[in-house]
Structure 1
Amino acid sequence: MKTIFTAIFLALFSVLANAQTRFEKAKKTASEQNELILLNFSGSDWCIPCIKLHKNIIETDAFKQLSADHILQYVNVDFPRSKKNQPSAEIKKENASLAERYNSKGIFPYTILLNSEGKILKTWEGLPSEDSIAFSNEIRSFYPNK
């Protein structure tokens, strides 16, 4: 009986713990660690500029260093078209909500830099013209603890 109760408790706890969205987690962590948040609206399997943005900026060491230096929380708001690339129902719902709030025009790629409270600091429509180092340095310029 004790084992059954423990199993039910752990299952319930894991459901409740996962109920918080990625964006809410990013805001919480950003607030606790005085970090910025970057939302990137992309179509990872159909949008050529989105694919280039990820390859040439998001996946680079210069960009990844922003997270390592506790400057940035990154949230990819992806809208793939291929069935095999579809996110979970929860992530689809969150992505739709974020798009409604921050990307009502449906621009891809669309990248938004926010402070920890969710205030927009800067936006990039389309593929940024900067290389990964310049893009990362621009984000650093908004960081409150330079």
Structure 2
Amino acid sequence: MKKIIFILILIGFMSVQTFAQKRITWHTDFNEALELALNEDKKVMLFFTGSDWCGWCIKLQNEVFKTPDFEKWSDDLVLVELDFPRRTPQDPKLKGQNRQLQAMFKVRGYPSVYFVQPEKMPDGKMNLNNLGKTGYVRGGAGKWLEVADNIVNKTI
């Protein structure tokens, strides 16, 4: 009987652990992310980062993006990480895509977070309605989410 109770407790604990794991998906393929956003009628968050050298990027990840508050808040967004590492090898195709987007959005510093609403035009081309941008915001997840929420929820 004790073995059965122990197994049931263990199974319950494991299911709670599985449920508690992060379910955030960071996309790296920009075009794939746009198609997903269009299909699910979501806005897109573009996170320009230097993952292995930018202290403020790492701080933003730890203080905001890795929190349960952000996880819940970001449910209605498609998240895209556009990384510019210095020490970590990166696929040349991904590197080219990220540099092209960096030039398109005129990113000059890191971290930079842009919010866009993709729209498919009648001619089949994609239009990105720029909703706004932010970077690191002092004060933790609550302050950052307040700023980001104002950007995401403004009307085009």
For normalisation by structure 1, the TM-score amounts to 0.70
Q: Structure 1: any 5+ residue segments left out of the alignment?
A: 1-20
Q: Counterparts of 1:134 and 1:105 in 2: how far apart (Å)? A: 22
Q: Counterparts of 1:35 and 1:54 in 2: how far apart (Å)? A: 22
Q: Counterparts of 2:32 and 2:145 in 1: how far apart (Å)? A: 22
Q: Match for residue 80 of structure 1?
A: 85
Q: Match for residue 102 of structure 2?
A: 99
Q: Match for residue 38 of structure 1?
A: 45
Q: Counterparts of 2:149 and 2:116 in 1: how far apart (Å)? A: 12
Q: Match for residue 8 of structure 1?
A: none
Q: Counterparts of 2:86 and 2:136 in 1: how far apart (Å)? A: 20
Select the structure that is richer in strand. 2
Q: Structure 2: any 5+ residue segments left out of the alignment?
A: 1-27, 120-127
Q: Counterparts of 1:112 and 1:93 in 2: how far apart (Å)? A: 19
Tell me if structure 1 keeps the 8 A contact 2:137–2:143.
Answer: no
Q: 1:129 to 1:78 in 2, by over 3 A?
A: same
Tell me if structure 2 keeps the 8 A contact 1:35–1:143.
Answer: no
2:58 corresponds, among 47, 51, 55, to 51
Kindly tell me the number of residue pairs found equivalent between the two proteins: 118
Q: Match for residue 11 of structure 1?
A: none
| Identity, % of aligned positions | 27
Tell me if structure 2 keeps the 8 A contact 1:38–1:111.
Answer: yes
Q: How far has the Cα of 1:66 moved from its partner?
A: 3.6
1:23 corresponds, among 13, 21, 30, to 30
Q: Match for residue 121 of structure 1?
A: 131
Q: Which has the higher contact order (CA 8 A, sep 6+)?
A: 1
